[in-house]
Amino acid sequence: MPMPFSVLAETFEKIERVTSRTQMLLYLVELFKKTPPDVVDKVVYFIQGKLWPDWKGLPELGVGEKLLIKAASIALHVPEHELEMLAKKLGDIGRAIEMIKQEKMKKGAAAPGLLAFIKKPGQQSQSTLTVEKVYETLAKIAMAQGEGSREIKLKLLAGLLAEASPKEAKYIARFVEGRLRLGVGDATIMEALAVVYAGSAAMRNVIERAYNLRADLGMIAKILATQGIEALKNVKPEVGIPIRPMLAERLNDPAEILKKLGGRALVEYKYDGERAQIHKKGEKIWIFSRRLENITHMYPDVVQMAREGIKAEEAIVEGEIVAIDPDTGELRPFQVLMRRRRKHDVHVAMEEIPVAVFLFDTVYVNGEDLTVKPLPVRHNMLENIVERSDRWQLAKGIVTSSPEELEKFFLQAIEDGAEGVMAKAMHDKSIYQAGARGWLWIKYKRDYKSEMTDTVDLVVIGAFYGRGRRAGKYGALLMAAYDPDTDTFKSVCKVGSGFTDEDLERLNDMLKPYIRQTKHPRVDSQMKPDVWVEPALVAEIIGAELTLSPIHTCCYGWVKPGAGISIRFPRFIRWRPDKSPEDATTTKELYEMYMRQLKKIEEKA
Ligand code: ATP
């Protein structure tokens, strides 16, 4: 049974108006109940505002504002400038198209046809568009590349907009513009899928596990809807599909670290570069970033190293790509590597900023799922399949059960230009926890010379106008931590210092695509900024110490009734474009940091 696109458009409209995540969830459940199993993947992609997962590296739609206006003007039989004016006034092309379509339908006006393939407005009152048809047409628009592609894109898009109802046209236009941001988190989508296809929200963890092993929610939803929850339980990693990375907790006391890990640990340098998940199938290599973007094209040198340096036919290995000084082989800071990302010509960048790769794990080799194996087994396998060279090595590490030795190794790591160390459990249960932050890996980072011993990564949820020298620009940001249980962002602090003049200059452009008139439904904040910002940008923040605050909602009531956790004298350090909002420091982590700080103060007393 084909699924009418109107069902999706109506749900989008409802979701746009929700004020709470619970409501959002209910509408999604309603939607999935109406979705035939074989189109659920497409429905999931539409909700995510994309045609396919980003890591596929497939072309984007490639329709700019101009082309969209032109297509809409053909479809609606209105002059381009009229449409442009209305869009400007409303600040939304999608809404402008909807309004004009509604008007025309009311009048039933039949304007002279500009193109033969387009139905005249007023001829139809009911759209017959299906989810499949819209998806296929949009995919064709994206795939049209090279000479003559503009004409093809224009024709396809005009046809689609002409056939659509006013409401459908609004969402098609927003989708094409890349502005269909419903703000529904993956966790919420998974919960709705669990309710509809597995009978209970509690089954979300089975879906989550499968999604962690294959980061394609559309594909996972389709397996679930067509083959059932049992099939999902058997999902393994697959070469070419990124797996969500395992993450570490943090501590800064060697004895405590060893105790948490069961007394004995593999302790490795924590290199300060870019995490890379490297997949190999024969001669083909893929490199995925921490955020699972396909970054293969940025590192032709690493592709070559992997081709020569992985001795298995099929494998997925993980390591850190670090900028190095070619003369001395010394490690260079993260910022140097980020400069490579900004360069246009990768071959020039490769020459100017050479890199080395330090491998630390493997999760799949020749058909075997290693995520379920303990670390020593994975590490042995890694040693077996990796042929080392100068720039392609295993992370430097020791196995120890002595806090003194751990501390010494940590100091050595700092001296060698690493960020600290990663200590990893080696016991029988030390599996690879894809997509999870747990106590099997613990990071111990260098002290930033303040009471707050570690930085946190927070998400921008609002902005404040500046005063004085900063008048007319944004002067401070409202920052939040991520709460995975409720899939929401909870306010932690307002940060106004640490920005360079250049940072402040760039703020306006950076925030512009994410500014909202109202609070985002996934944001939980009592403090009201001058403008709300959709959770998208992550920044690294340090402060003097963690404090209790009556206004901030992070960990509200956890330590004391009526108080949340905040940061005193917060300072901006740098943007973290390699992190998505869901990768930010979690509320639970902040709580644990606060409790550790409290313990230290009590000990001193
Ligand atoms: P951070 O902001 O501290 O880099 P993160 O949130 O990116 O942390 P964590 O799991 O908390 O990720 O810290 C581990 C990160 O450190 C990995 O994502 C990886 O990029 C990097 N790393 C460097 N060396 C190692 C190593 N030997 N083992 C594991 N991860 C390492």
Instruction: Give 256-295 pLDDT, tens digit per residue.
Output: 999 999 999 999 999 999 999 999 999 999 999 999 999 9
pLDDT higher than 80, residue 352: yes
Q: Which of 395, 419, 449 is the last residue of a domain?
A: 449
Q: Ligand 1: which residue has its CA nearest to atom 4?
A: 272
515 neighbors 532 (Cβ within 8 angstroms): yes
Over the stretch 559-575, which tens digit does the pLDDT of each residue have? 988 889 999 878 999 99
517 and 431 fall within a common domain: no
Domain with 354 in it: what CATH number?
A: 3.30.470.30
426 and 460 fall within a common domain: no
CA–CA distances in Å: residue 422 to residues 160, 358, 411 = 52, 13, 13
211 in a structural domain: no
430 and 480 fall within a common domain: no
Domain with 593 in it: what CATH number?
A: 2.40.50.140
Q: Which of 426, 449, 472 is the last residue of a domain?
A: 449
**Dihedral over Cα of 539, 543, 549, 554: its sign:** positive
462 and 430 fall within a common domain: no
524 and 387 fall within a common domain: no
Across the range 443-453, mean pLDDT stands at 65
231 in a structural domain: no
Give the H/E segment covering residue 69: helix 65-76
Over the stretch 415-435, which tens digit does the pLDDT of each residue have? 787 889 999 999 999 999 999
Q: What is the pLDDT of residue 449?
A: 38
Structure tokens at 530: 């001058």
Distance CA 131, CA 35 (A): 10
Query: Residue 364: beta bridge partners?
Result: 316, 369
pLDDT higher than 90, residue 123: no
Q: What is the pLDDT of residue 112?
A: 44
54 and 92 fall within a common domain: yes
Q: What is the 3-state secondary structure (H, E, C) of 470-534?
A: HECCEEEEEEEEEECCCCEEEEEEEECECCCHHHHHHHHHHHHHHEECCCCCCEECCCCCCEEEC
Taking alpha carbons only, the member of 80, 58, 61, 54 closest to residue 69 is 80
352 and 397 fall within a common domain: yes
44 in a structural domain: no
351 and 487 fall within a common domain: no
Q: Which residues line ligand 1 (CB under 6 A)?
A: 245, 247-248, 268-271, 275, 290, 320, 360, 395, 422, 443, 457
434 and 296 fall within a common domain: yes
311 and 344 fall within a common domain: yes
289 and 388 fall within a common domain: yes
Pocket test for ligand 1, best of 247, 270, 396, 424 (most atoms within 8 A of CB): 270
**Site of tokens 């449409």:** 83
Least confident range of 183-187, 439-443, 471-475, 505-509: 471-475
Is residue 270 annotated as part of the catalytic site, yes or no?
yes
Pocket test for ligand 1, best of 243, 244, 247 (most atoms within 8 A of CB): 247
393 and 461 fall within a common domain: no
Structure tokens at 493: 């602090």
Q: Ligand 1: which residue has its CA nearest to atom 12?
A: 247
State the distance from the centre of ligand 1 to the C-alpha of 478, rounded, in angstroms: 26
Q: What is the pLDDT of residue 570?
A: 86
Burial class for 584, CB neighbours closer than 10 Å (0-12, 13-18, 19+): buried
3 state DSSP class of 63? coil
Q: Which of 153, 177, 201 is the last residue of a domain?
A: 177
Range of the domain at 579: 456-604
20 in a structural domain: no
3 secondary structure, DSSP code:
P
Confidence band (pLDDT; 50, 70, 90) for 501? Answer: confident
Number of domains present in the structure of the chain: 3
